[in-house]
Amino acid sequence: MSYYEITGGRPLSGSLAVHGAKNSVLPILAACLLVPGQCVLHNCPNLSDVSATLDILRLLGCRADREGDAVVVDASALSRWEVPEHLMREMRSSVIFLGALLARLGTAELFYPGGCELGPRPIDLHLSALRALGAEILEEQGALVCRGGQLRGREICLSIPSVGATENAMLAACGCPGQTTLVGAAREPEIIDLQGFLQAAGARVTGAGTSTIVIEGGAPLRPAEYRVMGDRIAAATYLCGAAAATGEIELTGVSPATLTAVLACLEEGGCVLHTGPDRIALRCGAPLRGISPVRTAPYPGFPTDAQAVLMAALAGGEGATLFVENIFDSRYRHVDELRRMGADIQLAGRAAMVSGVGRLHGAAVCSTDLRGGAALVVAALGAEGTTQVSELRHIKRGYQALDKNLRALGAEIREIP
């Protein structure tokens, strides 16, 4: 199994164009199923989760090809509606195909995505939203058999602003004649990006970014060309890396407005930030100071996906910071690995008290999940000595060329086969 070997203590410097957003391109690729024609997605990141999604599209009968930084999807010949269990297990976010398949074909069969490293990942809100639109969904031994029946638009209330349930309902509603109103919708920037793609394809969707989204469904969609937004969580990761290692970096291709909560924490910790419409420059000359409590929350609150990487930067800083993880039940699996690098972190349920130790030390550590693995890389950049980070498959789900990009910024990191 390959691993990253990182020698810490090298300040970062330089400019990096951030890749397209994983959590935006995945639902947009599912949305391509709604279009009986060819769609072109620019700024599509080269990630294993994206490759897995393209495999599912091909298996359903679509053409899906990468052409440079773009992906071309043609769903004209969409003919199948089953997503096999092994692919569902490989990537739980494939549940997003449910709404799109129901909208286009009136039928879908897939399997319960099951839990993942972050704990149970229920889909009850997805199913209740689709049933509200008229879908009949049978659950048999872990399989979901969905029939569109008489899909019609209506008002749907989400009890939790679930990102995936909001996206699934938006896609299903595009195939429902009449008006659908999503109340209590998630407000994440990735949902605004999905709306942007749907509008480019001729769908009548408005309100994304607010908690009420309105879809006038039933009209056929047309081929669209669209540029995916920059990945705000990848951006947060590189910024935390520069905070851990110190130095001065510039990120381009990402809007600072999509990660204001993260930027505020880094500024409070002592970083100097300068931003433009699609650029963020960070200068950090000393280890991060402790900051006010970091409570993860739905957007525009502090994003749960940035919790681990910020914790890693603070663990090697000065002072104490309290984290409270309010979104997922098991999102502190990186803590044990950070402790192996000398981190002082006390856990109590959803709370984690991080006491900066001034500098972490290198160790052999193991990625536990996508963002937890990235956090170990962040910690290693500022640590004394050399760190080996293994189980890279987790990291490669969501980061394109992480080692190459960090080397270009001056880090001493290489992948050892």
Identify the residue among 328, 335, 365, 403 touching ligand EPZ (CB under 6 A).
328
Q: How many CA atoms lie within 13 A of 306 on its CB side?
A: 32
Which one, 23 or 43, has the nearer CB to ligand EPZ? 23
Shortest Å, Cβ 124 to ligand EPZ: 5
Would you say 164 or 342 has its CB closer to ligand EPZ?
Answer: 164
- Mapping DSSP to helix (H, G, I), strand (E, B) and coil, where does residue 297 land? coil
CB atoms within 10 A of CB 138: 10
The least CB distance from residue 288 to ligand EPZ, in Å, is 22
| Structure tokens belonging to residue 270 | 């002592």
Nearest to 34 by CA among 104, 102, 135, 107: 104
Residue 297 binds ligand EPZ (CB under 6 A): no
For residues 347 and 339, is the Cβ–Cβ distance under 8 A?
no
Residue closest to 381 by CA, chosen among 5, 15, 6, 13: 6
Q: x-or-dash pattern for ligand EPZ, window 94-133, by CB under 6 A?
A: ---------------------------xxxxxx-------
Measure the CA–CA gap between 390 and 338, rounded to whole angstroms: 13
> What is the distance between the alpha carbons of residues 186 and 174, in angstroms, rounded to a whole number?
17
Considering only residues 93, 246, 321, 405, which one is a binding residue for ligand EPZ as defined by CB under 6 A? 93
Minimum Å distance from CB 335 to ligand EPZ?
Answer: 16
Query: Considering the complex, what minimum distance in angstroms separates the CB of residue 160 from ligand EPZ?
Result: 5
Residue 358 near residue 314 (C-beta atoms within 8 A): no
Spatial separation of the C-alpha atoms in residues 95 and 105, rounded to whole Å: 16
Stretch binding ligand EPZ (CB under 6 A), from 157-165, 170-178, 280-288, 382-390: 157-165
Clarify whether 116 is annotated catalytic.
yes
Does residue 300 have a cis bond before it (omega within 30 degrees)?
yes
Which 8-state DSSP code applies to residue 267?
Answer: H
Other Cβ atoms within 10 Å of 107 Cβ, number:
16
Sheet holding 107-111, edge to edge: 107-111, 143-147, 136-140
Give which of 129, 97, 135, 128 is closest to 113, Cα–Cα: 97
- Exposure of 327 in the CB half-sphere (CA atoms within 13 A): 20
Q: Does 162 bind ligand EPZ (CB under 6 A)?
A: yes
- Are 93 and 49 in contact by the 8 Å Cβ rule? The answer is yes
At closest approach, how far in Å is the CB of 344 from ligand EPZ? Answer: 25
Q: Is 304 in the site for ligand EPZ (CB under 6 A)?
A: yes
Least distance between ligand EPZ and beta carbon 369 (Å) = 8
Residue 88 makes contact with ligand EPZ by CB under 6 A:
no
- Toward ligand EPZ, which CB reaches closer, 26 or 265? 26
From the list 74, 109, 305, 337, which residue makes contact with ligand EPZ (rule: CB under 6 A)?
A: 305
| Per-residue interface string for the shown chain with ligand EPZ, residues 345-384, x marking contact by CB under 6 A | -------------------------xx-------------
Residue closer to ligand EPZ (CB basis): 170 or 186:
186
The number of residues that bind ligand EPZ (CB under 6 A) is: 23
CB of 303 to ligand EPZ, least distance (A): 6
CB-based closest residue to ligand EPZ: 164
Q: Does 163 bind ligand EPZ (CB under 6 A)?
A: yes
Kind of pairing between the strands at 12-17 and 247-252 = parallel
Does residue 279 contact residue 273 with C-beta atoms inside 8 Å?
no
Among 398, 402, 403, 405, binds ligand EPZ (CB under 6 A): 398
Which residues are the active-site residues? 116
Q: Give the footprint of ligand EPZ on this chain (CB under 6 A).
A: 22-23, 26, 93, 121-126, 160, 162-165, 186, 304-305, 327-328, 370-371, 398
